[in-house]
């Protein structure tokens, strides 16, 4: 089982020094991965989700969020072995060729350690600010991934689709490995989970309940197999929006709380096919790192 930590990249209290310290300590204690996320903005009047009309106030920490790829480039230079992940990049807010080149460059700079989680995005204001329509997001995401893969493939690169066009060109650098940067789809809806399996990318789920997780992994692996992919070769990464604690705690969410119960949960997670889990850095990053070090030694 691979274990990871979300870096402290958001909120007024973070800094380059705090991010670097967390990344270096995560590698020192033997964690497998460190993670960033993307948030372009935090609307003053609240964020409206696509298909909704009611605004939701976002956490204060979203008022300042370090860019995920620049942050990973920074910590890549301060680490040597730990996997660098995004959970997630809002794929549709980026041009495929621009994002493909940025990811390939970062993958070269970090020696092939990049694991890119991507999602469709959900906030109307971010789509408007990026000048991207909200319609046909699923089809647009599928073509976006195809265009990114084309950029990572042999030159000359070309793509001619319904949403994106790339003239026959030499485009470099390419990612460190011939197959390109490893991709994960941040997905929760059944259609998005099925799409991830069909496209042969990994799956990045947010842990909400065991029933959700088990059903999602089964849907994903079935779709992958039907599309001719080897399900066992596609990673399933679980994000826990919570942390470990020094005491067992009551009424806890899965994969949170005291170490003994989290160890039990990891056994159940392994049984579902999940092979990689990471936790948010929470308010006290140093405490989380200490607890994760104990967890790492217990496995």
The residue from 217, 234, 251 where one domain ends is 234
Looking up tokens 């109307």 gives: 124
Write b or e for each residue in 263-282: b if 16 or more Cβ atoms lie within 10 A of its Cβ, otherwise e.
Answer: eebbeebeebbbbbbbbbbb
Query: Is there a single domain that holds both residue 135 and residue 198?
Result: no
Domain total of the chain: 2
Residue 267, domain member (yes or no):
no
Query: Is there a single domain that holds both residue 158 and residue 75?
Result: yes
Rounded CA separation 70/1 (Å): 28
Residue 6, domain member (yes or no):
no
Domain that holds residue 198: 187-234
Q: Which residues contact 123 (CB under 8 A, 6 or more apart)?
A: 40, 41, 43, 47, 48, 49, 50
Query: Is there a single domain that holds both residue 117 and residue 89?
Result: yes
Structure tokens at 31: 């964690």
Residue 243, domain member (yes or no):
no
* pLDDT per residue as tens digits for the range 203-236: 999 999 999 999 999 999 999 999 999 999 999 9
Residue 8, domain member (yes or no):
no
Residue 246, domain member (yes or no):
no
* pLDDT per residue as tens digits for the range 163-184: 999 999 999 999 999 999 999 9
Residue 19, domain member (yes or no):
no
Query: Is there a single domain that holds both residue 153 and residue 204?
Result: no
Query: Is there a single domain that holds both residue 84 and residue 213?
Result: no
| DSSP bridge partners of 113 | none
Query: Is there a single domain that holds both residue 151 and residue 63?
Result: yes
**What is the residue-level pLDDT of the chain in tens, covering all 299 positions?**
999 999 999 998 899 999 999 999 999 999 999 999 999 999 999 999 999 999 999 999 999 999 999 999 999 999 999 999 999 999 999 999 999 999 999 999 999 999 999 999 999 999 999 999 999 999 999 999 999 999 999 999 999 999 999 999 999 999 999 999 999 999 999 999 999 999 999 999 999 999 999 999 999 999 999 999 999 999 999 999 988 988 876 657 999 999 999 999 999 999 998 999 999 977 889 999 999 999 999 98
Query: Is there a single domain that holds both residue 66 and residue 176?
Result: yes
User: Which pLDDT score is estimated for 283?
Assistant: 80
Query: Is there a single domain that holds both residue 155 and residue 205?
Result: no
Residue 48, domain member (yes or no):
yes
């Amino acid at each position: 089982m691979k274990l990871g930590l979300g870096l402290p990249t958001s909120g007024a209290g973070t800094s380059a020094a705090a991010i670097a310290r967390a990344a270096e300590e995560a590698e020192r204690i033997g964690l497998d991965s460190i993670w960033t996320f993307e948030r372009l903005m935090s609307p003053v009047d609240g964020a409206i989700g696509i298909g909704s009309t009611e605004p939701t106030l976002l956490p204060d920490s979203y008022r300042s969020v370090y860019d995920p790829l620049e942050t990973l480039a920074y910590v890549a230079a301060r680490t040597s072995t730990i996997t660098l992940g995004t959970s997630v990049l809002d794929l549709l807010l980026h041009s495929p060729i621009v994002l493909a080149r940025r990811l390939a460059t970062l993958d070269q700079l970090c020696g092939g350690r990049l694991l890119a989680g991507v999602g469709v995005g959900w906030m109307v204001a971010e789509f408007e600010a990026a000048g991207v329509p909200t319609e046909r997001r699923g089809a647009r995401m599928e073509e976006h991934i195809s265009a990114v893969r084309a950029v990572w493939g042999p030159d000359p690169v070309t793509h001619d689709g319904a949403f994106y066009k790339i003239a026959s060109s030499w485009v470099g650098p390419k990612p460190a490995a011939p197959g390109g940067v490893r991709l994960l789809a941040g997905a929760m809806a059944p259609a998005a989970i099925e799409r991830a399996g069909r496209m042969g990318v990994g799956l990045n789920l947010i842990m909400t309940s065991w029933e959700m997780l088990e059903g999602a992994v089964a849907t994903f692996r079935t779709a992958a197999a039907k599309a001719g992919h080897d399900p066992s070769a596609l990673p399933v990464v679980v994000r826990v929006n919570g942390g470990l604690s020094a005491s067992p705690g009551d009424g806890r969410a899965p994969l949170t709380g005291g170490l003994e119960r989290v160890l039990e949960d990891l056994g159940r997670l392994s049984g579902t096919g999940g092979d990689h889990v990471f936790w948010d850095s929470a308010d006290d990053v140093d405490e989380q790192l200490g607890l994760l070090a104990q967890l790492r030694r217990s496995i």
